Copies of this chain bind each other. A is one copy, B any other.
Amino acid sequence: MSLDDRKLEVLRAIVEDYVETQEPVGSKALVDRHKLGVSPATVRNDMAVLEEEGYIRQPHTSAGRVPTDLGYRLFVDRLTRIKPLSPAERRAIERFMVGAVDLDDVVHRTVRLLAQLTRQVAVVQYPSLSRSSVRHLELVPISTTRLMLVMITDTGRVEQRLVEMPGPVHDGDVWDLRRRVNEKLSGQRLADTPPLVQRLVDECDDPERRVTMACLASVLLETLVERSEERLALAGTANLTRGGVLDFQGTLRPVLEALEEEVILLKLIGDLEPRTTRVRIGDENEIDNLRSASVVSSGYGPGTTIVGGLGVLGPTRMDYPGTIATVRAVARYVGDLLAQN
């Protein structure tokens, strides 16, 4: 059985009211608050159908109805017109972001901005290394057998690593290393570098040089692909406490735990498609600790490319249209900002 227009309208009304009041909504209250043009009894029949189809449920017999994850899903997919941001919000974004001096600054401002606008927990992923290109590699001698390797990417990220050399290296050697490495790797996408690094080693004729280069290469590979591939910023944890402890079925515990795991967060805001805002509701997150949470996320980057993700996390009972609009707007803004550099 498919749902006719009125039933959808009823579902929308239920979602909207429930999101606002945080209380199960009954048929009487519904017709009072929304001009549905039918009687409570009719609405009750519709509700019975909606419940049968799994879009809403009753906490107890003879209580009002509450949307299920499936109900929110339908609401988001078919009943939501994204509201444009208010001028005030647009201005807030401007004001907040203007004057950011470097990438760290941009990310931190963004995450706070998101948390503030949506009044929820915000997550911003730093531009992913694997999707960036090498702009410059710098080698700085720290001691005779130690070098500091600094990598700067086109997205503005700066990564550093200490390199322990097998034997003493002279200034001239450092020079040479720096030149070779940059010649080979500058401008390359990080994802493409591993074979190039290997080639760097192979091209060394002098056996001593070769050892040195091999040592550098191994650290290089680690830095480029394996370690700290991703970094994250988080803000707005305090927003979890809004609405008492009612959301998140009693304890914040599991949610806070999940938020401490980088791996989990990356899963939440990773794998995004260009120019779309993704919504994951409750179970769809496939993470036990976040059964009662929803995540709205979006990729960002210059133009239509994606260099990283950002998003917000809140109770399944959240203002989806507003949140989606905000996340989308912020993602776009950050993308444009990055494009300017």
Question: Which one of A253-261, A276-284, A290-298, A316-324 is at the B interface?
Answer: A253-261
For A160, what are the chain B residues with a Cβ–Cβ distance below 8 Å?
102, 152, 158
A341 proximity list for chain B (CB < 8 A): 162
A237 contacts which chain B residues (CB < 8 A)? 237, 256, 259-260
**The 3 residue pairs across chains A and B that have the minimum distance between CB atoms:** A238-B256, A241-B253, A238-B257
The interface residues of chain B lying within 8 Å CB-to-CB of A257 are 238
A-B contact pairs, 21 of them (CB 8 A): A101-B162, A101-B227, A104-B228, A135-B140, A135-B142, A136-B140, A136-B142, A136-B148, A138-B138, A138-B140, A138-B150, A148-B158, A150-B150, A152-B160, A158-B160, A237-B256, A238-B259, A238-B260, A241-B251, A241-B256, A245-B245
The residue in chain B whose Cβ has the minimal distance to the Cβ of A158 is B160
Closest to A156 in B: B162
For residue A252, give the distance in angstroms from its CB to the closest CB of chain B: 6
Closest to A154 in B: B142
What residues make up the interface of A, taking CB atoms closer than 8 Å to B?
101-102, 104-105, 135-136, 138, 140, 142, 148, 150, 152, 156, 158, 160-162, 227-228, 235-238, 240-241, 245, 251-253, 256-257, 259-260, 341
User: Closest residue of chain B to A149, judged by CB?
Assistant: B102
Whole-angstrom distance between the alpha carbons of A48 and B266 in the complex?
56
A36 to B251, CA, bound (A): 40
Given contacts A135-B142, A140-B138, A152-B148, contact A162 B102 (CB under 8 A): yes
A14–B14 CA distance with the chains assembled, in angstroms: 53
Give min CB distance, A223 to chain B, whole Å.
Answer: 9
Closest to A237 in B: B256
Write the nearest CB–CB distance from A104 to chain B, whole angstroms. Answer: 7
| A60–B160 CA distance with the chains assembled, in angstroms | 58
* Nearest B-chain residue to A341, judged by Cβ: B162
**In the bound complex, do residue A253 and residue B228 qualify as a contact, i.e. CB atoms below 8 Å apart?**
no
Query: Which of A135, A138, A251, A341 is packed against the most chain B CB atoms within 10 Å?
Result: A138
B contact residues around A252 at 8 Å (CB): 241, 252
Contacts of A105 in B (CB 8 A): 228
In contact, B256 and A102 (Cβ under 8 angstroms): no
Q: Which residues of B contact A136 (CB under 8 A)?
A: 140, 142, 148
Task: State A150–B150 Cα separation when bound (angstroms).
Answer: 9
Q: How far is the CB of A132 from chain B (nearest CB, A)?
A: 14
Contacts of A251 in B (CB 8 A): 241
Residues of B within 8 A of A152 (CB): 140, 142, 148, 150, 160
Closest Cβ of chain B to A281, distance in Å, is: 23
In whole Å, how far is A67's beta carbon from the nearest beta carbon of chain B?
26
Q: Tell me, rounded to whole Å, the shortest Cβ–Cβ distance linking A203 to chain B.
A: 24
Which residue of chain B lies nearest to A240 when distances are taken between CB atoms in the complex? B256
Q: Which residues of B contact A256 (CB under 8 A)?
A: 237-238, 240-241
A162 to B156, CA, bound (A): 9
Tell me the smallest distance from the CB of A96 to a CB of chain B, in Å: 16
Q: Given B101, B162, B228, B259, which contacts A161 in the complex, CB threshold below 8 Å?
A: B101
Min Cβ gap A255→B in Å is 8
